């Protein structure tokens, strides 16, 4: 039987994706699945709304939920990080795509970026910061892949991730995909694990 595949569509600056980042690695490993990271921007075509444009009551409740989850999971998170909202997430997202495409395990690098934003008060829109994170997690060869601008094929993959998310009906991040089944939110990861346990054939 071929290995199952777990796809993760997520925003680099999503705190919920940050909460789930290490857990999806464990879930994929335990299931013998291949984890494919697919960073995307907000999916406005399917109803995605940037946090800072939401009504005040929704923003306040968002902070309440973040506080609950950071305590529940024991994961460090600043409720008002210095560099959020980010100036851009494209440089970071395309760097993750580039290192994954080159055959590196991009999960540690991606998590380091998320942790830098949410727990370390670092600017993940800054190229030097990203290079330093890549050096720590991937070494010199990985750090050399962190560029701005990226080659056209990496930019095309970044754009293709959003197109594919829209096609699948994804509207929020993180959304995990097993076969054609969608699981929105890191609080659905138990269901992701169950779905992987029942996979008979991998996604195309």
Which 3-state string (H, E, C) describes the chain? CCCCEEEEEECCCCHHHHHHHHHHHHHHHHHCCEEEEEECCCCHHHCCCCHHHCCHHHHHHHHHHHHHHHHHHCCCCCCCCCCCCCCCCHHHHHHHHHHHHCCCCCHHHHHHHHHHHHHCCCCCCCHHHHHHHHHHHHCHHHHCCCCCCCCHHHHHHHHHHHHHHHHHCCCCCCEEEECCEEEECHHHHHHHHHHHHCCCCCCC
- Report residue 3's pLDDT band, with 50, 70 and 90 as the boundaries: confident
Tens digit of pLDDT for each residue in 56-67?
A: 777 788 899 999
Q: 199 pLDDT exceeds 90?
A: no
Confidence check: pLDDT of 46 > 60: no
Please tell me the predicted confidence (pLDDT) of residue 145.
98
Domain covering 5-197 assigned CATH 3.40.30.10 in the classification:
yes
pLDDT for 43 equals 65
Q: In this predicted model, what pLDDT tens digit does every residue of 93-122 receive, in sequence order?
A: 999 999 999 999 999 999 999 999 999 999
Q: Which pLDDT belongs to residue 42?
A: 75
Q: pLDDT-based confidence at 45, cuts 50/70/90?
A: low
Q: Is the pLDDT of residue 4 over 80?
A: yes
């Amino acid at each position: 039987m071929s290995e199952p595949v777990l796809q993760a569509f997520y925003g680099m600056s999503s705190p919920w994706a940050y909460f789930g980042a290490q857990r999806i690695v464990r879930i994929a490993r335990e299931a013998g699945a291949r984890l494919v990271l697919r960073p995307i921007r907000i999916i406005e075509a399917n109803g995605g709304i940037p946090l800072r444009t939401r009504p005040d009551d929704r923003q306040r409740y968002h902070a309440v939920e973040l506080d609950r989850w950071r305590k529940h999971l024991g994961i460090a998170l600043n409720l008002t990080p210095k560099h959020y909202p980010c100036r851009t997430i494209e440089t970071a997202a395309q760097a993750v795509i580039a290192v994954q495409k080159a055959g590196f395990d991009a999960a540690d690098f991606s998590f380091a970026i998320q942790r830098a934003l949410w727990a370390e008060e670092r600017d993940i829109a800054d190229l030097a910061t990203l290079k330093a994170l890549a050096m720590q997690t991937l070494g010199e060869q990985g750090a050399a892949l962190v560029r701005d601008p990226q080659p056209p094929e990496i930019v095309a993959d970044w754009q293709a991730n959003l197109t594919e998310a829209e096609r699948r009906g994804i509207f929020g991040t993180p959304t995990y995909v097993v076969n054609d089944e969608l699981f929105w939110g890191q609080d659905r990861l138990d269901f992701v694990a169950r779905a992987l346990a029942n996979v008979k054939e991998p996604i195309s």
